[in-house]
Amino acid sequence: MPRHAAARRYLMCRPQFFTVAYAINPWMNPAKPVDVPLAVAQWEVLRDRYRAFGHTVEELDPHPSLPDMVFAANGATVVDGRVLGARFAHPERQAEAAAHAAWFRAHGFGEPVEPLHVNEGEGDFAVTRNWLLAGRGFRTSPLAHAQAQEVLGRPVIGLDLVDPRYYHLDTALAVLDDRSDEIMYYPDAFSPGSRAVLRRLFPDALIAGEQDAAVLGLNAVSDGARVFLPQAAQGLFGPLRERGFEPVGVDLGELLKGGGSVKCCTQELRG
Ligand code: ARG
């Protein structure tokens, strides 16, 4: 099946002040040192890959007291040019929301919609052609799902996350083609009922195994033809190629210490 890439616009934040100063997910261990120049170099490879494939990457200025700001996907959700602001679950990250809102104001998006409940942006919201897939259980409040549906204009499918290692939806599920509702996911990260929902809506989904999930292989970004994903998720490369996608492996090993990879570093600016 031939695949067609669409030019995308992404928002990223350089990990200049990245560190693991606190632990708000099981991947984070403040006792383990972080190599910041290596984190920056790995992040630049991802940014430059996007640009080499013709995508636009905007950069949000990092802040010295916000070490998780590199995970730009969490700062807002943008669909058809409408911006739903984020509200973080943990106090350590709360100030990131205002930095994102200021960026949107300064870049012609207007005033982001004020979040009424905790929602961690694209960490828990995934946009397919027909649906807004919405994670809950660890971070985003189920109450935020209703607001997301109202603001972003797609029917929300609530999905219950049950494994603390996969605390955001984007650690367990990735959209492969947003023009045809094609996804990949790791079933064990979801409750039995949510698994049944996913099977019903996406019977042809690519199902990931434990090894690929455990290196955050599902934390991937697709432009419709290429899938940017952690290099270590080798088990996904063959199945992606069989479906006509070109896997583009990237090593973000330093950022994995914060519990994030490719998708976490990438917020998509849609429309
Ligand atoms: N340390 C960050 C946190 O726990 C990682 C966020 C990863 N971002 C994501 N979109 N999954 O909040």
Is 117 noted as a catalytic residue in this protein?
no
Share of the chain above pLDDT 90, in %: 99
DSSP codes joined into one string, 107-150? TT--SPBPPSS-B-GGGTEEE-SS-EEEEESSSS-HHHHHHHHH
The fraction of the chain above a pLDDT of 70, given in percent, is 100
Q: Which ligand 1 atom is at minimum distance from the Cα of 168?
A: 11
- Whether the per-residue pLDDT at 255 is higher than 80: the answer is yes
**Phi and psi torsions of 202, nearest 5°:** -130, 65
Query: How far apart are the CA of 18 and the centre of ligand 1, in A?
Result: 12
What domains are defined for the chain? 9-268 (3.75.10.10)
What is the predicted ipTM?
Answer: 0.97
What is the Cα–Cα distance from 104 to 96, expressed in whole angstroms?
A: 13
- DSSP designation for 182: E
Model confidence band, residue 187 (pLDDT cutoffs 50, 70, 90):
very high
CA triplet 252, 265, 25: central angle to 5 degrees? 80
Locate the ligand 1 atom nearest the alpha carbon of residue 139 and give its number: 12
H helices within 160-233, ranges in order?
A: 192-201, 210-214
2 — pLDDT class (breaks 50, 70, 90)? confident
List residues bridging with 134 in a β-sheet. 125, 158
At 99-123, the pLDDT tens digits run: 999 999 999 999 999 999 999 999 9
- Write down the mean pLDDT value for the chain: 98
Q: Of residues 13, 55, 168, 265, which has the active-site annotation?
A: 168
- What's the alpha-carbon Rg for the chain, to the nearest Å? 17
Query: Distance between CA 144 and CA 134 in Å, rounded?
Result: 9
Positive or negative torsion for Cα 253, 255, 258, 259: negative
How many whole angstroms from 139 Cα to the centroid of ligand 1? 10
Cβ contacts of 184 within 8 Å, gap of 6 or more: 173, 174, 176, 205, 206, 207, 208, 218, 220, 236, 240
Mean pLDDT score, 23-28: 98
- Is 265 assigned a catalytic role? no
| pLDDT at position 29 over 90 | yes
Structure tokens at 17: 């002040």
pLDDT for the residue 1:
62
Q: Probe ligand 1: pick from 71, 136, 171, 255, max atoms within 8 Å of CB? A: 71
